[in-house]
Structure 1
Amino acid sequence: MVELETAERRFIESMGQYFERRGGTRISGRIYALLMIAGKPLSNKRIATLLNVSAASVSTNLRECADMGLVEPTSVPGDRQHYYVIHSEGWEGSLRAAEDGLKSFARILGAALEVPHLSGNQNLRDASDFCAFYLTELAGIAQRWRTAQAPRAPRPAKTSKTPKGRTA
């Protein structure tokens, strides 16, 4: 990937705006889009060059994308730079990150509902009930996705690093 074509830039910018509208950062969306279309691992430096942003911004936003389960670190034999690719678990990794966030939210609601004077609060109860329902539905979605993807060839293994960059 020497230079980005107009259509690629348009896609990258659209994804950046999408992430921003959803409460994320524009640069995270742009990084994610770039890695989606790159077809190969990209270094922090290469990402910064292609997107015309600072290396520090790329580093910060790559961590955010990794925490969301969107990207993961990888290595290129003989090269000591840090490289990133779309997470090997694909959309299921993103779904798992969303599920973890919802579980945390549900725990907070549950703790609030244990407080005697809050236990009858209908807003808290509705939110808690919705979380329970949604988590049940998410479990079904993940299983249906795995079943639908079974005929596809498995993706090649990347590295043995966790999303936070620690060796497993």
Structure 2
Amino acid sequence: MTMTEAQHAYVDRVATFFTMFGSARAWAEILGWLMICEPAERTQAEIAADLGLSAGTVSTQLRTHVQLGMVEQVRVRGDRTQRYRLRSGAWYGVMASELERIRALGDLARAGDDILPRDRPERVTELGDLADFFAREWPPLMERMAAELDPSPSETRI
């Protein structure tokens, strides 16, 4: 499939965003493409051709996406070719997992309590205060999000 200029721009924008946070460029490009491609299900070979990536790179990055729960493997009845698509509810899972990182930040801040300079503790206590705030607020926020957005994965298959 030939991507339009607008599709290229979007995939590049997604890739640029995620690489700022340490993701591999190919991983982010695949994510961006699976967010917008039609049909939504693509084979590994199609993804490689669409994005101009090597088959090995696509294979490795798709495996990571599947392991993270962002992408799922699907099959079309009567076709033995494995296809991939963005998993329904994947973004909800990403947001739900943030609570672990928030709590870890709080733990990191508290680990410095005994060694903080007494005249300037705010460099560490600020992080702990923010983490504690979000650790309290995140679960109710996720509950409201679930109620408003119904993030349950779709059971539809192709």
Q: Deviations 1:45-68 (Å, cap 9, x if unpaired)?
A: 321121101223223333444565
One-letter identity of the residue aligned with 1:131: A
- TM-score, with structure 2 as normaliser: 0.75
Alignment of 1:51-130 (within 5 A): 51-66=51-66, 69=69, 71-76=70-75, 77=77, 82-110=82-110, 112-113=111-112, 116-118=114-116, 121-130=121-130
Find the aligned partners of 1:107 and 1:68 in 2 and give their Cα distance.
Answer: 24
- Whether the 8 Å contact between 1:12 and 1:34 is mirrored in structure 2 is yes
Find the aligned partners of 2:131 and 2:152 in 1 and give their Cα distance.
Answer: 34
SS at match of 1:96: helix
Q: Deviations 1:105-139 (Å, cap 9, x if unpaired)?
A: 333333x146x334964322221121111222322
- Whether the 8 Å contact between 1:44 and 1:83 is mirrored in structure 2 is yes
- TM-score, with structure 1 as normaliser: 0.71
CA gap of 1:123–1:82, structure 2 versus 1, over 3 A, is farther
Name the structure 2 match of 1:31.
Answer: 30
Name the structure 1 match of 2:141.
Answer: 141
SS at match of 2:84: strand
Name the structure 1 match of 2:155.
Answer: 156
Q: Deviations 1:4-24 (Å, cap 9, x if unpaired)?
A: 222212211121122223433
Is 2:9 aligned against 1:10? yes
Identity of aligned residues (%): 22
SS at match of 1:83: strand
Deviation of 1:35 after TM superposition, in Å, equals: 0.6
CA gap of 1:98–1:153, structure 2 versus 1, over 3 A, is closer
Q: Whose Rg is larger? A: 2
